[in-house]
Structures are given as C-alpha cells and as structure tokens.
Amino acid sequence: MKTEIFGMPLHRLQTALAELGLKKFRAKQIFDWLYQKCVFDFAQMSNLGKAERQLLQDCFSVLPAEIQIVRKMDSSDGLTRKALLELPDGNAIETVLMHHDYGYSVCVSSQVGCDMHCAFCASGLNGAVRNLTVAEILAQLYVFQAQLHLQNERVSRVVVMGSGEPMLNFDAVFGALQFLHQPDVGNIGYRNMTVSTCGIIPGIKKMQGLGLPVNLAISLHAVRNELRSELMPVNKGYPFPDVIAAAEEYAASSGRQVTYEYILLADKNDSDRDAELLAEYLRYKQAGVNLIPVNPVPEKGFFRPAEKRIERFLSILQRHRLHATVRREMGKDINAACGQLRAAFAKDNESKKQ
C-alpha cells in the first residue's frame, strides 16, 4: 500500500526518502514541486532521476492527483467557483474559491457531511460520514491553487467554513492550517485564516491554547435560548451565553476580534427584538456581526427576509454601535451555500440506484 505524501512534514519526508535510499535534499525539491509549482505527478518532476521518480511513484501517492472534480460551477459574475470533489474512497466534499478585491480565498470543508443538524443548513442533510485528513483539507485548497498557478496568482486566505464542524476534527484542521502557514508551502499568515464553529467550547479553549492569531467565527444565528436550540441543537450542550464568554476569552488572549455569524430567516429570527437582544449580548465585546440573508434550502423551508427588514435589522445593530455588515453574496446562483452541491449530488446518486 502506498504512503500518502501530501501534507507530510518535511522532516518526515526526509526520513522516508532516506529509508528508500534517496538523498534527504530530494525532500525539498519534492516540496517545491508539490506546493510551489503545483505538480502532483512524480513523472513531471524533472530534476529527479528517472529511477528516483519511478521509486517515488511505486511508494507514494499524491492526493490531489487522485481527486476527481465531479462538478464545477462558476458564478455568473466570475468571482466564485465551486467544486464538488470525489475522494478516492468515493465520498464527496465541496470547496469554494472566491475572488475578492484583496485576492483569492478558499473555503474548505472539515468533514464529509455534518452532524450538527442545524435546521437551515444543507450540510447535515445526510449526517456526518467521517472526518477529513490533513491531506484532504490541504488538497481542497490545492485543487484551486493549481489552477491559479497558471495565472501567476495564489490563494492568500483560507476559511474553514465549509461542511462539517471544525472543532470536532481539531487536530486535522489545525494541522492543515499550520502546514499551510509554512513559507515553503502556502505561506499564508495566521491572520488570514478563519475557523468557524457552531460553539464547541472545548475546541475554542483548545484553539486558545495554541496561541495562534487565527480568526474565530461563531455561528450564532439566534439569541433566544429556545429558538437557538430549535435552529441549532448544539445549543443544548453549549448554551450560547457560555459560547460568547469562551469566544470573548479567545479574543482577549489572541487580540483578534471575533466574528458572529447570524443567518437571517424571514419571520424567525429577524425581528426588531432579536436585533436588540443581539446588540445587548454583544455590547462591549470584541465582536463584529456578519449578517447572512439565508440562501434558501428547499428541503428546510426557510426564506430570505425582505430587503427593508434586512436593512432595519442592520440599522438597529449599528445604532447600538455594534460593528455589523451584511455579507456580500457570492455564488448564490451556483448553490455556494454549505452542502447544497453535495446534497444535490447525493440525491442524484440515490435516484440512479433506484
């Protein structure tokens, strides 16, 4: 069985090569091919000898070369590209490339599916299958990085906001981020990385313990206890006031403002009273609010509020001097909300089996 080389630390690669009788300096050459040139085929690594390339081919696999892009969609404005990736074991995950005025960011998934069962989200329609490995998290970014490399562009930001709960796959998520931070890999600064959680407090505390200035985003979505438990069952185990307290501790220790994501659902959590409560809970906190008008998921039955209602909600937060914005919608026409493309893919596969 071949050993997966993608995401393998340099020192481990050096040891693995030495065990095969290859010089350790070859490891740095391979790193350059994989992470700078985005070449995932040993046969194309021209500064390695033919026999060495064959030996590497026989002993190692390179995950990006084995991933199949089963669906790829581009938004009409050309700023968002979404890919559904089929892994070697047949599971599908999705990742999104977004072009901003400051560069390119990639939104990656941390799990195949999700077990959080948020009422408005497509990611959990089929539950969680398994955690992703470090290599699988990295490969999502490098699928796009390989395309950008041809344009002399690169990914400069990564957000772990795709399918799955990152704090339930903590070691792999932060292993991938620390790997991407290395100058000879992605050279992405920690301040250009964001991890979003539904509010898994032990994970927030563990993240704090790492001492890295990674941005923390909290999926809040309601500040009435019964409503949040209805929308997000995780609230029963980790009530939102405790989550806010843990996030504020993280903000104080990291020096990074926490972003609270609040999805706006028509006639559900978008009232004036909801806005007043949200402002009250976040008053004097190192916090910003990202309002997200729902990207409708037909299976869930939620709808987007009217524009006047969105503006009213925003104005109430701003009147209370809370930094708040409405998320710029990217990729709405290509089902760029978490889990929608994978859910459609799974539904198609089920139809074919019947």
User: Please, are residues 258 and 288 in contact by the beta-carbon 8 Å criterion?
Assistant: yes
- Distance, CA of 228 to CA of 220 (rounded, Å): 8
Virtual torsion, Cα 180, 289, 339, 150, nearest 10 deg: -40
Residue 220, annotated as binding a ligand:
yes
Helices 170-181, 201-210: axis angle to 10 degrees equals: 30
Does the annotation place 165 within a ligand binding site?
Answer: yes
- Does 323 count as an annotated binding residue? no
Say whether 198 counts as a known binding-site residue.
no
Is 295 one of the annotated binding-site residues? yes
- Is the Cβ–Cβ distance between 181 and 158 less than 8 Å? no
- Is 196 annotated as ligand-binding? yes
Rounded CA separation 344/306 (Å): 27
Which run of H or E residues covers position 215?
A: strand 215-219
Active-site residue set? 94, 338
Annotated binding-site residue? 219: yes
Greatest Cα pair distance, the chain, in angstroms, is: 70
C-alpha to C-alpha distance for 74 and 258, rounded to whole angstroms: 30
- Token match 């026409």: residue? 333
Residue 6, exposed/middle/buried by CB under 10 A (0-12, 13-18, 19+)?
buried
Dig out the tokens for 287 from the structure: 């916090």
Give the residue numbers of the binding site for S-adenosyl-L-methionine: 164-165, 196, 219-221, 295
Give the residue numbers of the binding site for [4Fe-4S] cluster: 114, 118, 121
